[in-house]
Copies of this chain bind each other. A is one copy, B any other.
Amino acid sequence: MTPLGPTDPASDAQGGATGTPQEPEGERLAHRPPAGRPGPGLSRERIVTAAVQLIDAEGVSALTMRRLGSTLDVEAMSLYRYVNGREDLLEAVVDALVETIEVPAPGHLKPVDGWQGFLQVLAHDVRRLALEHPAAFPLIATRHPAAPWLRPLLRSLRIVEAFLDGLRARGFTDEHAVTTYRTFTSFLLGHLLLESAMQGAEMSPAEEPLDEGDAELPNRDEGLDLADFPTLARLRSQLTEDHAEEEFEAALEHLLVRLDLELAQ
């Protein structure tokens, strides 16, 4: 499908072709001989890819029709031929990212024999998505899916179908598969939204050199007055430690234990 990897996987690898300052950096059409048109060649796919890159680089609030247009060397109005407004674009971005999630297929390479391995592999792939696109992740987690019975993160028909089939093929009843869908999405949402928020913490506002007048505002954590919060002050360093990965693994392990219990009863 669309190469939606972390911002620009391969195009930076081969520099040197960019002589003029305003040329688009990646020659995406190099392998596309027909009609030597060098022009923009807009398409929905190209627009969505550019949108993802812009979000990855500068955050969701920077994704403006006008800015996105200039990224593609095109006026903003041109985008409306391929995209149904900004909301539709955001939807397309979310869909494109979610479609990169791979649900382990029956004949899979990795050790995905049991349902536990199935869920383990899937969970880690969703985590990969969260860490590759931390700025976009709140969007994926927050926007309403197309149908009320779809839940954030695992929010495409294809993925839910594969998820349910995958569990059923590994011994789950219909009912257990459905409740596991709910439990699993809640689990992923809670852990990964937090982790992606940490990852891309310093994203939203461009940092400005502070004026001389105000050294007053508590800029990040240093300015906070912990005088009235002795426990907080004492445990501060422990609270700051980042154990996201271990937490994720531990919580996933416990989720599997819990599901195992529910299966048995």
Contact = CB atoms under 8 A, between A and B. Distances in A.
A191 B193 contact: no
Contacts of A194: 151-152, 185-186, 189
A144 B221 contact: no
A182 B240 CA distance: 11
B144 A235 contact: no
Given A194-B185, A218-B146, A231 B157 contact: no
Contacts of A182: 243, 247
Contact of A149 (B19, B141, B185, B236): B236
A174 interface: yes
A79 to B, nearest CB: 16
Number of chain copies forming the complex: 2
Interface stretch (A50-58, A105-113, A124-132, A222-230): A222-230
Main secondary structure, interface of A, reads helix
A165 interface: yes
Contacts of A170: none
B193 A224 contact: no
Interface residues of A, number: 75
Given A178-B238, A190-B186, A13 B220 contact: no
Nearest to A248: B186
A115 interface: no
16 contacts: A13-B224, A16-B216, A19-B214, A84-B217, A142-B142, A144-B197, A149-B236, A149-B240, A152-B197, A160-B229, A164-B235, A174-B234, A179-B243, A190-B191, A190-B193, A258-B258
